Chain A
Amino acid sequence: MTEGFRVDVQELHVLATRLHGSGDLLNDRRNGVPSEPADAGASSDVLAGALISLLNEVGTQLGELDQLITNLGHARDWYAEADRNARADVLRPFRLPDAMLPAYGPLSQEGPASR
């Protein structure tokens, strides 16, 4: 596990876009399903069962990819917001709370200098 973190928020967007493009391609191909199962004679049901399993697996893959891209977007937003908050904190005028200021009383005329 790495200590600390470093991130390029813009590049996270590039990663998400690339994954989204691959998912779109897979989804388009999946949706090009023939309207009816192919006639494979006595093996038609076995073949259709296998193709349905494949379609389900493609659906699972796309669901997982969907979550990954969405979570990447959330991470990017979180980093961007954290950076904005940090910047706002940095720009805020520095002022110590009164309670933290040293409790000097009025200078005495018989202070150390006059002693």
Chain B
Amino acid sequence: MKPPAPIPALPVPAGGAHTIAVRVDGDPVALQATTAWLTGIAGAAGALADDMATTVTASQHIWTGPAADTFRDRVRRGRDHADGLRHALSAIVSAVDTFAEEIRAVKLQMAAAKELARSVGCRVTADSIQFPLPLLNPAQGGTSGEVTAMVGLARRRESAAHTALRAALARHKSFLESLTSSPTRAVSVSRSLFMEASKAKAYTETALTHAKALSSAAFIAENADGGLRQAAQAELFGGASAGMFDQAVRGSRSALGYGAPNWVTPPAGDFAKKLVGPALKPLTVSSGMLAGAGVGLDIMSGTPADKAVVKGGASFAAGAATSAALEAGGLILLGASPPGLVLIAASVIVSAGVGYSIDQAWRPTPPDANAHGGGW
């Protein structure tokens, strides 16, 4: 049997400055504040479970009958749910406490490595140790090898802490999902005795986004030599902002382009489609908004409101009709779409002509034409 190929060794840096990242993400103090909060909830869930058990027992002496039996069944299910919550919370508290302690220890190990590096003349910053040249591989040197080993050890411990935390959370995630799908889940509560504070509501809505940003910015231990891969926040968020901008532009363009073509189903048949499609195309939100803006400008410049509305509407309709007619005609007669600029120019000319004609032909409505009953 052919022996398996040896695992290739990590590439040795060919030269240049060697830097090891020593930043350790995670805030043990904040993590322990979280576990204190969770411990409080676990205690309250336990007290509720105990009270529900007492309620079942006490109710047997004071209340009997079918309704009482149903009530006790429901209280027992609630007690089981509360008990499950207590256990899940306790296990998560334990896992997070252990994780916080491990991160604290890793930070201390990194601090020791930095101290040693500083003592032998390395450049030490908050997040990195830079070994002086001309080292080829700091892991093979004397003191630099010792520093690298300390950092590697700390990284392995950090990595193990993350693995253990994730495993513990994954175990309880499946439990929590089973609770959610249990029949004890409340269908709806119109009037709540127990009001959720806005802070808790906000946490539920925003914590995940915030935490994802923290995770993206974190350094992740990649190998035992202290070599790291940073999920580069700048790259991620730089790309995200450009992407978000593009998305916003696409979104606004899609909203402006929304109109008749989106909700009218063209009739079957190629000929009908060629006629209906171009006729609907100009009737969009953006063209309507432009017509509306024109009406507004007319009114601001002193045109009577009724005249401005008629003029704007007629111009818009005429422009749209011209555009549709030209496009449909071009498609039908020439078999190809006419250039967009020709369409726009023709629509503008017709639209302006209609507007001008209305300007010339407009006769103001007599002041008493619409009056009923002789005014005041």
Binding site for B on A (CB under 8 A): 1-2, 4-8, 11-12, 14-15, 18-72, 75
Q: Which residues of A contact B62 (CB under 8 A)?
A: 7-8, 11-12, 15
Q: Compute the total of residue contacts between A and B using a CB distance below 8 Å.
A: 256
Contact status of A39 and B26, CB under 8 A, knowing A6-B65, A29-B44, A30-B200: yes
Scoring A12, A25, A41, A71 by chain B CB atoms within 10 A of each residue's CB, the highest score goes to A41
B33 on the interface (CB 8 Å rule)?
Answer: yes
Q: Which of B35-43, B112-120, B252-260, B325-333 contacts A (4 or more CB under 8 A)?
A: B35-43
Q: Which residues of B contact A47 (CB under 8 A)?
A: 34, 96, 165, 169, 211
Contact status of A30 and B196, CB under 8 A, knowing A4-B65, A42-B215, A64-B184: yes
Q: Contact: B194 with A27, CB < 8 Å?
A: yes
Q: Per DSSP, are chain B's interface residues mostly helix, strand or loop, or mixed?
A: helix
Q: Which residues of A contact B197 (CB under 8 A)?
A: 31, 33
Known A23-B193, A41-B215, A66-B194; further 9 A-B contacts with Cβ < 8 A: A11-B63, A29-B44, A30-B196, A41-B24, A41-B218, A45-B214, A48-B210, A54-B41, A70-B191
Q: Mark B142-174, 1 if CB is under 8 A from A, else 0.
A: 000000000000000010001001100100110
Binding site for A on B (CB under 8 A): 24-27, 30-31, 33-34, 37-38, 40-41, 43-45, 47-48, 51-52, 54-55, 58-59, 62-69, 71, 74-75, 78, 81-82, 85, 88-89, 92, 96, 99, 103, 158, 162, 165-166, 169, 172-173, 176-177, 179-180, 184-186, 189, 191-197, 199-200, 203-204, 207-208, 210-212, 214-215, 218-220, 231
Partner of B45, one of A21, A26, A70: A26
Q: Chain B nearest CB: distance from A61 CB in Å?
A: 6
Contact status of A61 and B85, CB under 8 A, knowing A11-B62, A43-B215, A44-B211: yes
Partner of B26, one of A26, A40, A46, A54: A40
